């Protein structure tokens, strides 16, 4: 199973559902007879209505973040995992570098992941190293620590998908070399088995400047389970091109 997950960030209004409608029509045609899932993390303002519009479609609707406290609280402007589930979400992105830069530390991320899983939401957990850490060859150490400091051994890994997004790649057009990305994902999966049990199989996506041009390069990386797609997910044509070129 491969995953193509769009992260709209601060993009989208009600009529933007036309983008997802075109993508859904493409999926229905199923040209490639391949097994893949399409998911979109939309702004809070669109979750409830989009979840209803695409309830019986091939597209799953989720959120881009949640608050670390659950259910209801007096925190102005915040949305809990409990509320997301009620709004129709099937998943939530947690740990994106944007949110880490705004103060999401390991304790906060742990609470977010725990609450999301407790509310039966799937979690897309983002990890990534910055340019300086990459240059010092600390990538694997950084990624492993970002996971170990948040995940507990009793977490259900079937509810978690890890998204490896090198911070130095996001929005820059730069992507890791194919063999470099392959080695990173293989080593990370091996490390996760050592730390969390041989029977646990974490899925790992790649995110960072993914587009229709480079999608075909990633198709050779069998250890990469899919993609978290930013800018290209705001266009039905660009998103469809990623799927088409990946299976070309």
- Full 3-state SS string of the chain: CEEEEEECCCCCCHHHHHHHHHHHHHHHHCCCCCCEEEEEECCHHHHHHHHHHCCCCCEEEEECCCCCCCCCCCCCCCCCHHHHHHHCCCEEEECCHHHHHCCCCHHHHHHHHHHHHHCCCEEEEEECCCHHHHHCCCHHHHHHHHHHCCCCCCCCHHHEEEEECCCCCCCCCCCCCHHHHHHHHHHHHHHHHHHHCCCCCCEEEEECCCCCCCHHHHCCCCCCCEEEECHHHHCHHHHHHHHHHHCC
> Residue 27: what pLDDT?
92
**Owning domain of residue 93:** 2-246
Domain count, the chain: 1
12: CATH: 3.20.20.70
Averaged over successive runs of 10 residues, the pLDDT of the chain (248 residues) comes to 97 98 91 83 98 95 98 96 98 97 97 98 98 96 96 92 94 88 96 89 95 91 95 98 93
> pTM for the full model?
0.96
| Active site positions, annotated | 96, 165
């Amino acid at each position: 199973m491969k995953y193509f997950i769009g992260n709209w960030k601060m993009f989208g209004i009600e009529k933007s559902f036309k983008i997802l409608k075109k993508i859904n029509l493409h999926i229905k045609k199923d040209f490639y007879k391949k097994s893949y899932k399409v998911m979109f993390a939309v702004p809070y303002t669109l979750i409830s209505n989009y979840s209803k519009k695409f309830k019986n479609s091939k597209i799953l609707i989720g959120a881009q973040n949640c608050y670390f406290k659950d259910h209801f609280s007096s925190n102005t402007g915040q949305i809990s995992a409990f509320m997301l589930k009620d709004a129709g979400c099937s998943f939530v992105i947690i740990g994106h570098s944007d949110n880490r830069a705004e103060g999401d530390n390991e304790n906060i991320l742990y609470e977010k992941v725990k609450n999301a899983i407790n509310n039966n939401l799937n979690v897309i957990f983002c990890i990534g190293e910055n340019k300086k850490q990459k240059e010092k060859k600390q990538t694997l150490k950084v990624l492993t620590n970002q996971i170990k400091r948040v995940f507990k051994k009793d977490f259900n890994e079937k509810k978690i998908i890890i998204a490896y997004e090198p911070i130095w790649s996001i929005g820059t057009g730069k992507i890791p070399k194919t063999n470099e990305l392959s080695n990173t994902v293989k080593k990370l999966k091996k490390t996760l088995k050592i730390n969390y049990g041989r029977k646990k199989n974490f899925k790992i996506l790649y995110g960072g400047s993914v587009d229709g041009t480079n999608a075909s390069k990633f198709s050779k990386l069998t250890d990469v389970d899919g993609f978290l797609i930013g800018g290209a997910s705001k266009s039905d044509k660009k998103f469809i091109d990623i799927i088409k070129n990946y299976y070309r």
